Chains A and B, each alone.
Chain A
Amino acid sequence: MRHRRSPITWFKNQELARKLILINFFLIVIPLGILSYFAFSRFAAAMEHKVGDFQLQAIKGLTLNLDTYMEELDRLTLMPYQYEEIIRFLESDRRGEGDNPLSLEEIKALNNFVTQVFLNGRVDIMGVSLFGEKGASYVVLPESQYVTTYSLDENAEWLKRQQGGSGQSVFVATHEISSTSGATYQAFSIARELRSFDSGKKLGYIVIDVDPSVIRGILSQVSLGSREHIYIADWNNRLVAGKTDAEPAELAGALPSSGEMPSQGVSHAVVDGERQLVAYVTSPITNWTTVGIVPAKELMKDAEGIRQSILLFGAACVGIAMLASVFLAYRMTRPLRTLITLMRKVERGDLKVSFPVRHWDEIGRLGKAFNTMVSNLSQLGYLLYETEIREKDAQIAALQSKINPHFLYNTLGSISMYAEMDGNRDVVRMTNNLSRLLRYSLSSHKELVTLEEELEHVKGYMTIQQMRYEERLDFRLSVHESVRGCMVIPLMIQPIVENAINHGIDKGAGSGMIAVECERREQTLVITIEDDGIGLSDEQLQHLRKRLLFSKDTGGRSGNGLLNVHRRIVLHFGPAYGLRLESMPYRGLKAIIELPAIAAEGILKGEKHA
C-alpha cells in the first residue's frame, strides 16, 4: 500500500494503458464539459431574451387587437352628439322629486337611441346609461327596463379622472352591475363626458357597460405557456378581465411599481416563490395594462430539453471516446504486455520464444533486442547441453572399454602367478603394473584426483613402457612437493605421455627422453610433459593449436589424446586453463597443462561449485 501515498505516485504506478485512459479521459471530459457549459449558458440567456421578446410581441399584438375593439366601443360613446333629442334630454332639468316624467316622445327617442347603441355595437353591450348634469337619468341594465331614478355615483373614481379631462373617454375596470330582477353581472364600462359645443358647458355622461367575456375571448386566443397568466388591469391594478381567474392582486408584485412604469416592457418577478417572466403593455387608448406572466421555468422548458440532449450527447460522445481510448490504450500497450509474458517464460527457462516484431517503432526495436538476447541465451544453453552429452558419450565409451575387467584382472592374476612359479620376475612386475593401470583407469569415475595419485598411475604406465622399450626410454619425473596434493582431472597426464612415446620414441628420433615436471606458478598448477622426439612442423603445430582452440570435438575413442585432455580441462575449469603446445621440428614437443592450483582441502568447495 506504500504506492498509495500520493495520487501522483499512485498514478505513476498505474499500468501504462490505465495512464493513457486516464489522461484521455481528462483531455476529453474537461474541455467538452467546459464547452458544453458555456454553450448552454449562452444559449439559455439568448433564449430567455428571445422568449421575453416573443412574449412582449404577443402581448403587444393582443393589446392592439383589443384596442381596435375598444376604439369601436369608444366611438359608440360619441353617438349622443348625433341625436338632438338625447342632447335635449341631457340638458333637461329633472331635479324635482318625481316631477317631470318622461313623455312618450322622449321614451321613444331614448329607446330608439339605446337600441341603436345596442344594435350598432357588438352583442356584448350589456347596458347604456345617460346621466344629465341637471338630474336627467336613463339607465338600461341587462334584463331590465330603463330606470330614470338612478343617479350618477359622484364618488366614482373614473369621474374624478374624467373631470378636467379633454373629453376623452375613460375605461373603467370590471365591476358588478345588478339588474332589476336581482341578477348581478360583471361588466367593464366606457364613460365619456358629454359637452355642449355651443355653450362649452358639460352636459352629462354616457356610460356603456360591456360584458368582459369578449376580452376573455380575445385573451384566450393567445397562449404563452401552460401555466400562464394573462390579464388586463387598470391603472389601479384592478382586474378588467383575465384569461384565468387569478386575482391580479396576488400577481401585483410581479409588475414594476406603477409610478414610473414604462408603457411596455419585460421584467422578472418572483410569484409563489417561482421566477416569472412578466411582459406588459399599457394601451394608450384604454390606459389598461395587458400583462402576461409565465413561469421562467415553463418558458425554458425547451432549453431544459436541450440541456438534457446536450448531457445525453455529451455522455454518448464521451462514452464513445472513452471506449475508443480504452481500445487504443490496450491496443498500444499490448506488445509490451506480450513482451512481459515472454520475459516470464524466459525466466522460467523456456527459451523457445520469439517476439513478433510488426512495427518498427520503439516497441519493435525493444522486441528485436529481446529476440537477440533470447537467441544468445539459447545458444549458450545449447553449448552446456552439448557438453553434458559429450561427457555421457565419454562415459559410455569408458564403460565399453571396461569389458569384463574382472576377467582381465583374473587373467592378469593367473599370468602373474605362472610367472612367479616360473621365476620370471619381469612378467610378474609387468602384469602387476598392468593390473594397477587397468584398475586406475577403470575406477576413474571420480572427477578429480590428487596429482599424487595421477602421477602414480603415470609411473605404473611408464614401468610397463620401459619394459617394452628397455633402455631406450629415459623417463624423468620432477614434482615439486607443494603440488603433490593438488587436485587434477584423472587420466590427464597419461594420454600426453602416451602421445609423447608414440610421437617421440616410435618415430625413432631423439634419445627417448620424456620429462614430466609439476610445479606451481602462483595460483596455477603447471605440468609440463616434454620429449626430445621428432617434434612438429610449424604447419602441424598451427593446425593442432587451431583444433585445440576451436574444435568442440572431444576426440572420443579415436580422437587425438591432446584434444581430449584440453577439452576436458576447458570444460571443467574454464577457457583460462588448458593445454598449450610448444614445439620445434626435431627438437621435441612440449605440452604444458595449466590448471588452477586447488589443494586437496578445496575438494569439498570445488564439488559444490560443480
Chain B
Amino acid sequence: MKHKRNTWKVWRPACCALMALLVMTACSSGSEERGQPVAETGAVTLEFWTPFSGGDNQFMSALVAAFNREHPGIAVTQVNSRLDDYYSRLRTAILSGNAPDVAVLHQTSLPQFVKNGYIEEMTKLAGEGGIEWDGFSAHALNAVTYDGKPYAVPLDTHALVLYYNLDHLQAAGLLDDAGKPILEEGAEGFLRFLGKLKEALPGNIAPLAEPSTRIDSVWLWWSFYNQMDGGGAFYDESASRAAIMNPKALEALEYVKKLYDNEYIPPNINDAFKLFYDGEAATLITGMWGTGAFEKADGLRFGAVPVPVIFDKPAVWGDSHTLALPIRHSSTPEQKQAALLFAQWVAEHGELWAEAGHVPSWRGSSESEAFTGLPFRSDYAKAVGDVAYWPRHPRQWTVIEYLIQEFEKMIYGQQSPAEALEAAAKRIDAELRK
C-alpha cells in the first residue's frame, strides 16, 4: 500500500511536464496556420473594349461605373483605345484568342466581324439572357441584323452635325435672334457664310475647323455625295468594283477641296475638336459626340444644327455604336450571360449615354424626357433620319482607309480630287479582287 502514495509523487512532475508540452504544442501548431492567399471575390469579370475619343469616353466610364455599382456580382473593366489603334488591336486580340468579353463595334465594321464569325450571334445567347429587341428603333435593329439574326446590341446613332461658336457668329453678324446661324441654302450659300466668317473674324480663328488628315474629309465627301439626287453609289451592283468614279462623287469632293483651298478650313489642323473646344474655331462639323464635352468646356458658348444641305436633299454621314460579344472559347456561360446583361443594361440607359451627344437606339431612351429635355439634341436628333450609312460590306473599313489616305494627299496638294478618286477606286478594286 505504501507505494501508492509514492506513485503520485512520481506522477506530479510528469503531469507538469505534460502540461508544459501541451502549451508548447499549442504554440507550434498555431504558427503553422498562417494563411497565404486571400480568396477572390466571386464576381464575374468582364473586359470591355471601347474606341472612344473626343469626350465621349468619360460618359462611357461613368456608365460602366454605374453598372458595376448596381451589379455587385459583375465587375466590368473598361479599356479604351484611340480609334486609330482600336481595330488593329481588336483584330490582333481576336486572332490571338484574347478577345475582350464585350467590344464596341461600329456598324460599318460589323459585316467583317459577322462574315468571319468573330462575334456571337445574339439570339443564341439572348434566347437565355433575354434581350428585348422590340425596344430598339427599327433602323437601329436593322443595322445589326444579318440574315434575320441580330449580331450586336445597337447603342446609338451618331451623325455629323454643325457646331457653331455663338460668340464668333454673333461677332460676324451671322446669328439670328433664336441663336441659330443665318445660313443660306445651297453650295454657294454655305461658302458665302464661311467667307463672311473669315472676313469678320481675326486670322487665328478658323471659320470651319476640320483636321487636315484623318477621316473627317471623307465624312464630308460622303455626306455631300449623298445629298445629291442620284448620288451615294459606292460599289457596282455586284459589289466587286468601286463605283465612285462618277461626276457627282467628284463634284462633292471638289466642294470639300474648295473648303480647304479657300482656307475656310485652315491648313495643318491636327485636332479640330480641340480648336473648337478652345474657342479658336467659329464652326466645326464633326460627330454628335462632341456635345457632351463642349458642354463641359469653360467659357464656350455654342450651338448645334444639322449639317446644312449643300446639294439637293438632306443627307449626312452617320454610324452606330453597337455592343458585340467577340467569340471567346475561354469564356464561361456566366461571363456570356453577364456580357449580355451588361449590353442590354447599357443600351437601356441610353439617356445617360446620350449626354455625350449621341442619339440612343433604345426607344425608351430616345423618347424619354431625360433625352428630349437635353439641350441641342432636339436640334439635331432629326438628322438621324437622314443618315447615309456606308454600304454594308465586309471590307468597308479597309476601303475607307484608302479613301482617307488618298484624300489626305489631295488636301496636302499632292493630287487633284479626280486623281484622288481614281487612285482610291483603283486601290478599292484591287482590294475587292483579293
Contact = CB atoms under 8 A, between A and B. Distances in A.
Interface of A: 28, 31-32, 35-36, 39-40, 43, 47, 50, 54, 101-104, 107, 111, 115, 118-119, 123-124, 140, 142-148, 180-183, 223, 302-303, 305-306, 309-310, 313-314, 317, 321, 324, 328, 332, 358-361
Contact of A310 (B16, B27, B54, B297): B27
A503 B89 CA distance: 159
B26 A321 contact: no
B26 A107 contact: no
A119 to B, nearest CB: 6
Contact of A317 (B19, B27, B88, B297): B19
A223 B213 CA distance: 49
Given A145-B211, A358-B1, A321 B19 contact: yes
B52 A148 contact: no
Interface string B13-30: 001100110111011001
Contact of A104 (B4, B296, B409): B409
Contacts of B34: 54, 302
A60 to B, nearest CB: 16
A147 B272 CA distance: 11
B26 A309 contact: yes
Contact of B271 (A31, A107, A147): A147
B19 A145 contact: no
Interface stretch (B78-86, B149-157, B174-182, B186-194): B78-86
Interface in B78-125: 79-82, 84-85, 88-89, 92
A35 B81 contact: no
Nearest to A116: B85
Contacts of B342: none
A306 B89 contact: no
B1 A361 contact: yes
Contact of A147 (B2, B89, B274): B274
A351 to B, nearest CB: 28
Interface string B31-66: 101100110000000000000111101100000000
A182 B277 contact: yes
Given A182-B55, A309-B30, A146 B20 contact: no
A305 B19 CA distance: 18
Given A115-B88, A302-B30, A145 B81 contact: no
Contacts of A101: 267-268
B270 A43 contact: no
B413 to A, nearest CB: 9
B371 interface: no
Given A43-B31, A302-B31, A32 B20 contact: yes
A317 B22 contact: yes
Given A104-B412, A146-B271, A181-B273, A328 B88 contact: no
A31 B16 contact: yes
Given A104-B409, A181-B53, 20 more contacts: A107-B270, A119-B92, A140-B82, A143-B53, A144-B53, A144-B271, A180-B273, A181-B293, A182-B296, A183-B55, A183-B58, A223-B37, A306-B27, A313-B23, A313-B26, A321-B19, A358-B1, A360-B2, A361-B2, A361-B5
A243 to B, nearest CB: 12
Nearest to B89: A119
Contact of A306 (B26, B80, B211, B297): B26
B268 A328 contact: no
Given A143-B53, A180-B271, A180-B273, A332 B5 contact: yes
A370 to B, nearest CB: 18
A291 B79 CA distance: 28
A182 B1 CA distance: 99
Given A118-B82, A145-B270, A223 B38 contact: yes
A121 to B, nearest CB: 11
A47 B34 CA distance: 11
Interface residues on B, range: 35 or more
Given A43-B31, A142-B80, A314-B23, A181 B267 contact: no
A124 B214 CA distance: 24
B57 A143 contact: yes
A259 B214 CA distance: 51
B129 to A, nearest CB: 27
A128 to B, nearest CB: 11
B414 interface: yes
A115 B271 contact: no
B319 interface: no
B8 interface: yes
A35 B53 CA distance: 70
B293 A40 contact: no
B270 A39 contact: no
B408 interface: yes
B299 to A, nearest CB: 12
A182 B297 contact: yes
A404 B138 CA distance: 155
A309 B27 CA distance: 8
Contacts of B33: 302
A455 B16 CA distance: 88
Contact of B293 (A31, A145, A182): A182
A478 to B, nearest CB: 71
B85 A104 contact: no
A181 B2 contact: no
7 contacts: A28-B16, A50-B31, A145-B270, A147-B270, A317-B22, A332-B5, A361-B2
Interface string B401-434: 0000000110010100000000000000000000
Contact of B23 (A140, A310, A359): A310
A36 B271 contact: no
Contacts of A47: 31
A103 B58 CA distance: 32
Contact of A143 (B31, B55, B89): B55
B307 to A, nearest CB: 21
Contact of B55 (A124, A140, A181): A181
A143 B31 CA distance: 52
Nearest to B93: A123
A289 to B, nearest CB: 23
A309 B4 CA distance: 34
B16 A180 contact: no
Contact of A40 (B22, B27, B84, B409): B27
Q: Which of A32, A146, A182, A183 has the most CB of B within 10 A?
A: A182
Nearest to A100: B268
Contacts of A324: 15
Interface in B261-292: 267-268, 270-271, 273-274, 277
A123 B1 contact: no
Nearest to A31: B16
Q: Which of A103, A148, A181, A309 has the most CB of B within 10 A?
A: A181
A314 B26 CA distance: 10
B240 to A, nearest CB: 29
Contacts of A36: 23
Q: Lowest 3 A-B CB distances belong to which pairs?
A: A145-B271, A180-B274, A101-B268
A104 B211 CA distance: 12
B15 A321 contact: yes
B14 to A, nearest CB: 12
A143 B89 CA distance: 16
A107 to B, nearest CB: 5
Nearest to B296: A182
